[in-house]
A and B are shown apart, each in its own frame.
Chain A
Amino acid sequence: MATMYDKLAELLVTRFDVDAEEIRPEVTFEDLEMDSLFLVELLVVVQTELGVKIDEDMASPRDTIARVAELIEEQLVPAGEPA
């Protein structure tokens, strides 16, 4: 099964014109030339496509792709339950 990181990577490629080769866990959104407006747009897409709501003040363009994938996973799994 695809991990959240893979799903996020796929959204970046299909919806935000990011080259697949550019995507690595430690790459930040700033590195991808995605500013705060694009990051909020990404969170809108994540909510629409994956059904997970992330508050815009939880993520910043300086976060890595891996960090935002983690954030989504944390919201997916209610606190206290096993992953």
Chain B
Amino acid sequence: MSAVPVAVTGLGLVTAAGIGTAATWSGVCAGGSRAARDPQLAGLPVDFSCTVPDFDPDALVGRRSRLKYDRFTQLALVAAREAVADAGLDPKSWDGTRVAVVLGCGLGGVATWEAQHDRMRDVGATAVSPLLIPMLVPNMVAGNVAMDLKATGPNFVTATACASGATAIGTALSLLRDGLCDVVVTGGSEAGVSPLIVTGFAQMGALSKRLDDPAAASRPFDVDRDGFVIGEGSGILVLEREADARARGARVRARVAGYGATADAHHMTSPDPEGVAVRRALSQALAQAGVGPDEVDHVNAHGTSTPLNDAAEAKVLHDLLGARAAVSSTKGVLGHTLGSAGAIEAALTVLAIETSTVPPTANLRAQDPKVELDVVSGRAREQRTEVAVSNSFGFGGQNAVLVFTT
């Protein structure tokens, strides 16, 4: 029995390349890194990041959103509204009981946590905001999107670190196939660029230390890569069973055809260099999509720009797919947005299919000779893509692979 086809009918993006899907896609295809020195990180071991420019929450989300939502929720609300409008759906008239919200988030409201901790230390316990808990718990992003959209179907947040967004989309697929809902607003959001979190990643050696040239720091698959650049953002997709989408005359932007999920069970933070579990996740996703490894045209790689990830991922891709697929890592432009990366990249994979364009991998000057893949660099490549893969891997060895088709 073949799986029920599921369509992507709406996209919303808020990233370091801009607010909105159009701004993000044009920035990603232009290929310039958005990493820059970040004033709030001044004096720390790593002082640059990829943040969303000119994001005014009160103007974009509504009154007092600066006071009642942490940034990871603000970003998601903007992206979710864009995605739902893009799908041609109207929360005022839809049957909200049939709408699910499933979002990925790795950290939650860390900036709120840090600010309130400072207040408790500096002023005292009585100064701690009663909004601390509702602002910081990670599941609140799905709760707030549901309140905003009057969506009262299944509602939760997935946490698989840097794979959270992809895990959310894969799980959303099952909800639709099982008939638990008719529409899923899915994806992820993260705003983890805070002094403590960035320092934590720096202390574990995960971040690029290219302090003298932030814009050249995120360089996936390059021989001189030395770590990832932290970013923030939100990516939201609206999914529906394809038959339902067609019946209401919606535009089907692409299909989510397959999902694979596995665990390395190898190390807390290092990927299994043999990539055994990643390979299995990719195989599962392709099998569910009903496509062969030799049919994959494009891969939006996890491609973090860390020495270990890119080597291990490249080995699996080469072993399983050969060198036929056009591979990109959009983290070169956007940095690594952690729990939302898989969702943002899923949206970019849909756009690659829809526009017949494979975005370039920023800063890829000298490809690591161990990366035996066709990695797109320099400029975007015009190419028809019928089958595309989006890889996401999280600390804890949690792997999620999505397959999209025309």
A33 touches B130 (CB 8 A): no
State the Cβ distance, A34 to closest chain B Cβ, in Å: 8
> Is A11 close to B, CB under 8 A?
no
> Is B131 close to A, CB under 8 A?
yes
- What 7 additional pairs, Cβ within 8 angstroms, besides A17-B64, A41-B129? A37-B68, A37-B130, A40-B130, A41-B67, A44-B126, A47-B126, A48-B123
Chain B proximity mask over A1-38: 1 for CB below 8 Å, otherwise 0: 00000000000000011000000000000000100011
- What is the count of residue pairs linking A and B with beta-carbon distances less than 8 angstroms? 34
A53 touches B126 (CB 8 A): yes
Chain A proximity mask over B118-132: 1 for CB below 8 Å, otherwise 0: 000001001111110
Chain B residues positioned under 8 Å from A41 (CB to CB): 67, 129-131
Pick from A16, A47, A48: contact of B67, CB under 8 Å? A16
A48 touches B126 (CB 8 A): yes
A interface, over-half SS: helix
The residue in chain A whose Cβ has the minimal distance to the Cβ of B134 is: A37
CA distance A53 to B66 in the complex (A): 25
A: residues with CB less than 8 A from B are: 16-17, 33, 37-38, 40-41, 44, 47-48, 53, 56
State the Cβ distance, A27 to closest chain B Cβ, in Å: 15
Chain A residues positioned under 8 Å from B267 (CB to CB): none
Pairs of residues from A and B, 5 with the lowest C-beta to C-beta distance, nearest first: A40-B130, A48-B127, A17-B64, A37-B130, A37-B131
CA distance A38 to B128 in the complex (A): 13
Chain A residues positioned under 8 Å from B248 (CB to CB): none
Pick from B63, B126, B130: contact of A17, CB under 8 Å? B63
Given contacts A17-B58, A33-B63, A37-B134, contact A44 B128 (CB under 8 A): yes
A-B contact pairs, 17 of them (CB 8 A): A16-B67, A17-B64, A17-B67, A37-B68, A37-B131, A37-B134, A38-B64, A38-B131, A41-B67, A41-B129, A41-B130, A41-B131, A44-B126, A47-B126, A48-B126, A48-B127, A53-B126
CA distance A48 to B128 in the complex (A): 10
The residue in chain B whose Cβ has the minimal distance to the Cβ of A43 is: B130
CA distance A44 to B131 in the complex (A): 11
Pick from B58, B66, B68, B130: contact of A44, CB under 8 Å? B130
Chain B residues positioned under 8 Å from A16 (CB to CB): 64, 67
Chain A proximity mask over B42-64: 1 for CB below 8 Å, otherwise 0: 00000000000000001000011
Question: Which chain B residues numbered 64 to 93 have a C-beta less than 8 Å away from chain A?
Answer: 64, 66-68
State the Cβ distance, A62 to closest chain B Cβ, in Å: 18
Chain B residues positioned under 8 Å from A37 (CB to CB): 68, 130-131, 134
State the Cβ distance, A79 to closest chain B Cβ, in Å: 22
